[in-house]
Amino acid sequence: MLSSLTGFLIQWLITALSLWVASLVFNGMRFADKSALIVSALLLGFANAVLWPILVVVTLPLTFLTLGLFLLVINALMLLLVAKLVRGFTISGFWTAFFASLFISIFSLFLNSLMRDSEMAVYRLPTSGQTISM
């Protein structure tokens, strides 16, 4: 249980850090204060966990037709949705959201690679001799 919470908090911190760095890189992306950044990171993680799979399935033919490039559009739309829902988080337009979401994905991937087993510790099956506790 504690390892699941730790993995969640690490992912939340990585998302928040990625959003903050993206707001420094892209002029059209702004956070009014730290609370808007924290809420945006939490909501983006929730939207990616819940809405992302649904949108991928619904747009599967279009994703196949564009050889997967439409997934970048879905990322941008998720970021625009979060900006619409969180007060104090603004994005100037679609192309800012598009390139910012691409940057956030790559930067988050980089940060996750630096963290030793941060995400995978939650999903890894126990090795022989270990028991599963719930």
Mean pLDDT by groups of 10 residues along the chain of 134 residues? 75 91 94 94 91 92 92 94 94 95 92 69 55 56
Q: Both tokens of residue 133? A: 């506790």
- The 8-class DSSP code of residue 73 comes to H
Per the domain annotation, does 69 fall within a domain?
A: yes
Per the domain annotation, does 130 fall within a domain?
A: no
pTM: 0.79
- Sign of torsion, CA 40 24 109 97? positive
Give residue 121's pLDDT.
47
Give residue 82's pLDDT.
95
Domain span holding position 37:
2-116
Tally of structural domains, the chain: 1
Give residue 30's pLDDT.
95
